[in-house]
Structure 1
Amino acid sequence: MRILIGCETSGVVRRAMAARGHDVWSCDLLPAEDGSNRHIVCDIRDILGDGWDMLAVMHPPCTRLCNSGVRWLFGPPKNPPAEARGQERAAWAEMPEEQRLLIMWRLLDEGAALFSACWNAPIARVAIENPVMHRHAKERIVNYRKPDQTVQPWWFGDAAFKATSFYLRGLPKLQPTNRLQPPKAGTDAHKRWSIVHRASPGSERWRLRSRTYQGIAEAMAAQWPAAAMEVAA
């Protein structure tokens, strides 16, 4: 199958799909961490119509769409959001609150537009990873519907907590492959499993929080193309 992995720089899902013989490419505004020549640096919307059999959007910018970000629509953050324009970030501290709020709502519109473009792409099979959204985001997404499932890395053999929701079109829910037994809360093991949530603030925090766990990537590669080809046959 010809597969596009959108909003991925790590290459984890791309490599898992490629290992099973698919013609797979990743795409992001940033270059690939592994230096692969099967990574396209561009806005994903520029290539959605290029004849893909499957689209998996792994880490679309979601800060403005998810529940944890809704508060900034009514009380702008003290520090400028990373998605703001350079001149906006430079002037953020001196801006009136009303102007900062207008920027936050614009960023919400931009995030919803990207999600909508991917969700409604002219591709038969689509999977988009995204946290639970607030109502203002849902209202802005064309043909929005609830996520089809929420999985955990430990369902697929990775000792970690990270609730991951998938919006699916033309693809089945992922089936667990190697369920582990989660450790009890308060134990050292539980703290190790919570590394994503306990990550210290910093320039690399986003990279840790967005990376797809290997077990989930392997499950995607094993289950989704196979299900699609079975239907086609």
Structure 2
Amino acid sequence: MRVLIACEFSGRVRDAFLAKGHDAWSCDLLPTERMGPHIQGEVELVLEDGWDLMIAHPPCTHLCVAGARWWKEKQADGRQATAITFFISSAKAPIEHIALENPVGILSKAYRRPDQYIQPFWFGDSVQKKTGLWLKNLPLLTPTNIVDRGMIYVDPRGNKHGGVHTNRAKKAYSPRMLLPHTEERWKIRSRTFQGIAEAMANQWGGREL
């Protein structure tokens, strides 16, 4: 299959599909972090290039509940509306099989509820990050390796909480979530977990859909 991984600079999902023998390409405004087939530019320009499957990770900055405190401002200046429009237009792309991924946020109200929610710890990564999948002509993603939930979760309001502890002042946090506030922080948080990437390739790319 010809597979487009939209809004991906890490190459993780792309490489998982390449490993299954597919003609997979990532596309992002940024250059790829891993050597491999990559289109640097606007994804809208390549949507009609004969893809069989698209997995897209539209930017969640203006959509997810973690930034809900700034929604009023983003609604006023149009940033949220632009992000919603991009997501919906991606969902309506002329591609037979589509999966769009985004954390819990405003899309359930502005567009529609996702077909399913998944967690990284269902696929071998001990982290809780509830993420929605909006699917077109694809089966639900089946958990592959349920492990410990990890020491951190993000509640519906975007607040981060530690795991089980006896002293409230000494919460234990996952190294992935305890990141310094640097320019690279958003990149680290946006990379697809490896277990999820492999599950997508195995279940959606393991056979002709």
Give the TM-score category using the shorter length.
Answer: 0.7 to 0.9
Letter in 1 for 2:83: G
Q: Is the 8 A contact 2:91 2:100 kept in 1?
A: yes
Paired residue for 2:94, among 122, 125, 131?
122
Deviation at 1:50, TM superposition (A): 1.0
Q: Is the 8 A contact 1:8 1:27 kept in 2?
A: yes
Letter in 1 for 2:51: W
Paired residue for 1:66, among 39, 64, 67?
64
CA RMSD in angstroms, aligned pairs only? 2.2
Paired residue for 1:150, among 109, 114, 117?
117
Letter in 1 for 2:119: Q
Matched, 1:214 2:194: yes
Partner of 2:16: 16
Secondary structure of 1:206's counterpart equals helix
Matched, 1:171 2:138: yes
Q: Is the 8 A contact 1:161 1:196 kept in 2?
A: no
What stretches of structure 2 of length at least 5 have no aligned partner?
152-162, 166-170
Aligned mates of 1:68, 1:221 — CA distance in 2: 28
Deviations 1:184-227 (A, max 9, x none): 7235xx945x3343322111110111011111111000001236
Matched, 1:52 2:44: no
Q: Per the alignment, do residues 186 and 200 of structure 1 end up closer, same or farther by CA in structure 2, a change over 3 Å counting?
A: farther
What stretches of structure 1 of length at least 5 have no aligned partner?
77-99
Q: Per the alignment, do residues 209 and 168 of structure 1 end up closer, same or farther by CA in structure 2, a change over 3 Å counting?
A: same
Aligned length in residues: 193
Matched, 1:133 2:105: yes
Letter in 1 for 2:91: W
Q: Is the 8 A contact 2:120 2:129 kept in 1?
A: yes
Q: Which has the higher strand share?
A: 2
TM-score normalized by the length of structure 2: 0.83
What is the percent sequence identity of the aligned residues? 45
Q: Which has the higher helix share?
A: 1
Q: Is the 8 A contact 1:3 1:54 kept in 2?
A: yes
Secondary structure of 2:4's counterpart equals strand
Alignment of 1:37-116 (within 5 A): 38-58=37-57, 60-74=58-72, 76=73, 102-103=76-77, 106-116=78-88
Structure number with larger C-alpha Rg? 1
Matched, 1:31 2:31: yes
Aligned mates of 2:33, 2:206 — CA distance in 1: 28
Deviation at 1:66, TM superposition (A): 1.9
Secondary structure of 1:226's counterpart equals coil
Deviation at 1:118, TM superposition (A): 0.7
